[in-house]
């Protein structure tokens, strides 16, 4: 026997599907919401500069400052109060201390080591992530040692290992190699373990692309004027996605605890693939150029900066991120806490 047509499955599927029903009010949208941005998702990158009592504006990053160590401590205190879990420290090395080999990276009294010690002493509960790479210390602005125009891989790794050990000795919680040399994660892991730093973690800048979006950062650390050439022989080609999975696979095999994709928003597809494929803690860096774009458009009245900020950060969560390095961190944290 045949069912009357209105009872048949296919006719029920023909009923209008009204997805808008679930969007009819804010309470209804809340029930449906798949992802949320919280203060616990945020890692705040801050720039440290020489001197005392210094808070210095960066013209290409409105609202971002370089802080002397004492001021960085105050910022860390505020960040901890807002519930931001971790800071990522970057130095603006005085230009007279930059040289061919980036030797200041190996000075236990450099800005980063002093910054780590001061923040750890005053604000012990905030996580400290440190950058391992030579570009803030070299006179040529490259992340590694250069010979005849080539970036030397293994020789650079040997220096990065020493840099990482110094940072661990100063009290860093997470070592974050951003240099893209092959084999550096394994070498750093082995050295940390051998030196008794088994609890110090590694967050690998695993899929880091040779990007146009790093410009303002290079102003912030003072390497934009000095950089000779580009970084295409070590950072990834923006055309590639499968290669990002190989980079992540290697870094995990070498001992990375967390992996990062960088830049962020133009590479959301990479974040999703990494998270789907490896199911490991996955982070994105919303880099300086992404920050500057939003700020510049907002300043000119072209977009609502605050809404754009929140939308981009939520998009990272939707893509699969466990956390985001973002210069917006304190602003978002204040907003989420109802303090802005
Ligand atoms: C370099 C480094 C860069 C950034 C973080 N670490 C720049 C580069 O590779 O030239 C960029 C971060 C940003 O743009 O916000 N080791």
Q: Does 30 reside within a domain?
A: no
Q: Which of 47, 135, 164, 266 to mutate to test the pocket of ligand 1 (most atoms within 8 A of CB)?
A: 135
In ligand 1, the atom with minimum distance to the C-alpha of 327 is 15
What are 124's two structure tokens? Answer: 């012990």
Which residues form the pocket of ligand 1, taking CB atoms under 6 Å from any ligand atom?
131, 133, 135, 143, 178-179, 214, 217-218, 231, 287-288
* β-bridge mates for residue 323, sequence order: 283
Residue 242 token pair:
């499968």
Q: Residue 12: what pLDDT?
A: 64
Q: What is the CATH number of the domain that holds 328?
A: 3.20.20.70
* 1 contact partners, CB below 8 Å, separation of at least 6: none
Q: Which tokens sit at 78?
A: 């505020």
In a domain, residue 317? The reply is yes
| Neighbour tally for 154: CB within 10 Å | 13
Q: Which of 105, 133, 312 to probe ligand 1 with, by most ligand atoms within 8 A of CB?
A: 133
Q: Is residue 10 part of a domain?
A: no
For ligand 1, mutation pick of 214, 220, 226 (most atoms within 8 Å of CB): 214
Could you tell me which of 279, 281, 304 has the C-alpha nearest to residue 294?
304
| Ligand 1 centroid distance, CA of 62 (Å) | 17
The answer to the question of residue 9 being in a domain is: no
**Tokens coding 282:** 């996955």
Question: Is 1 among the domain residues?
Answer: no
Determine, yes or no, domain membership for 3: no
Strand 86-91, strand 127-132: pairing: parallel
**For residue 339, how far is its CA from the centre of ligand 1 (angstroms)?**
30
Beta bridge partners of 285: 325
CB 224 within 8 A of CB 142: no
- For residue 229, tell me if it sits in a domain: yes
- Which residue minimizes the CA distance to atom 9 of ligand 1? 214
**18 CA → ligand 1 middle, Å:** 46
Q: 179 CA to middle of ligand 1, Å?
A: 9
The secondary structure of the chain, three-state, reads CCCCHHHCHHHHHCCCCCHHHHHCCHHHHHHHCCCCCCHHHEEEEEEEECCCCCEEECCCCCCCEEEEHHHHHHHHHHHHHHCCCEEEEEECCCHHHCECCCHHHHCCCCHHHHHHHHHHHHCCCCEEEEEECCCCCECCCCCCEEECCEEEHHHHHHHHHHHHHHHHHHCCCEEEECCCCCCHHHHHHHHHHHCCCCCCEEEEEEEEECCHHHHHHHHHCCCCCCCCCCCCCCCECCCCCHHHHHHHHHHHHCCCCEEEEECCHHHHHHHHHHHHHHCCCEEEEECHHHHHHHHHHHHCCCCCHHHHHHHHHHHHHHHCCCEEEECCHHHHHHHHCCCC
Note the pLDDT of residue 8.
61
Q: What are the tokens at 183?
A: 């084999």
Q: Which residue carries 């080591």 as its tokens?
A: 113
Mean pLDDT of residues grouped by 10 in the chain (340 residues)? 59 77 97 97 98 97 98 98 98 97 98 98 98 97 96 98 98 98 98 98 98 95 86 98 98 98 98 98 98 98 98 98 98 94
| Backbone dihedral angles phi then psi of residue 178, each to the nearest 5 degrees | -115, 15
Tell me which residue has tokens 């006179």. 139
β-bridge partners, 208: 262
Q: Which residue out of 231, 262, 275, 317 is catalytically annotated?
A: 262
Residue ID of nearest Cα to ligand 1 atom 14:
214
User: Is 275 among the residues known to form the active site?
Assistant: no
Q: Which domain holds residue 187?
A: 35-336
- Does residue 262 carry a catalytic annotation? yes
Q: Is residue 242 part of a domain?
A: yes
Q: How far apart are CA 337 and CA 339, in angstroms?
A: 5
CA atoms within 13 A on the CB side of 118: 21
Q: Say which of 208, 231, 275, 317 is annotated catalytic.
A: 208
How many structural domains are present in the chain? 1
């Amino acid at each position: 026997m045949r069912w009357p047509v209105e009872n048949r499955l296919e006719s029920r599927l023909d009923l209008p599907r009204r997805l808008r029903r679930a969007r009819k009010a804010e309470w209804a949208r809340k029930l449906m919401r798949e992802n949320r941005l919280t203060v616990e998702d945020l890692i705040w990158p801050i720039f440290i500069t020489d001197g005392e009592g210094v808070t210095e504006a960066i013209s290409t990053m409105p609202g971002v400052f370089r802080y002397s160590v004492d001021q960085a401590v105050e910022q860390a205190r505020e960040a901890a109060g807002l519930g931001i879990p971790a800071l990522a420290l970057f130095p603006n090395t005085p230009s007279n201390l930059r040289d061919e080999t980036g030797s200041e990276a190996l000075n236990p009294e450099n800005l980063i080591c002093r910054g780590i010690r001061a923040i750890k002493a005053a604000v012990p509960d905030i996580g400290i992530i440190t950058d391992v790479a030579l570009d803030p210390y070299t006179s040529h602005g490259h992340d590694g040692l250069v010979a005849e125009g080539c970036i030397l891989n293994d020789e650079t790794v040997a220096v990065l290992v020493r840099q990482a050990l110094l940072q661990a000795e100063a009290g860093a919680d997470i070592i974050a190699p951003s240099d893209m040399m092959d084999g550096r994660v394994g070498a750093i892991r082995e050295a940390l373990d051998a030196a008794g730093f088994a609890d110090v973690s590694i967050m690998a800048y695993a899929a880091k692309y040779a990007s146009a979006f790093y410009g303002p950062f290079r102003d912030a650390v003072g390497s934009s004027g000095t950089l000779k050439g580009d970084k295409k022989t070590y950072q990834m080609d923006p055309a590639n996605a499968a290669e990002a999975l190989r980079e992540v696979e290697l870094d995990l095999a070498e001992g990375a605890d967390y992996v990062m994709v960088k830049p962020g928003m133009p590479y959301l597809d990479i974040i999703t693939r990494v998270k789907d494929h490896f199911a490991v803690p996955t982070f994105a860096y919303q880099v300086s150029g992404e920050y500057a774009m939003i700020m510049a458009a907002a300043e000119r009245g072209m977009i609502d900066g605050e809404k754009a900020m929140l939308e981009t950060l939520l998009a990272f969560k939707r893509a699969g991120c466990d956390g985001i390095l973002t210069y917006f961190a304190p602003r978002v944290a204040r907003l989420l806490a109802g303090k802005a």
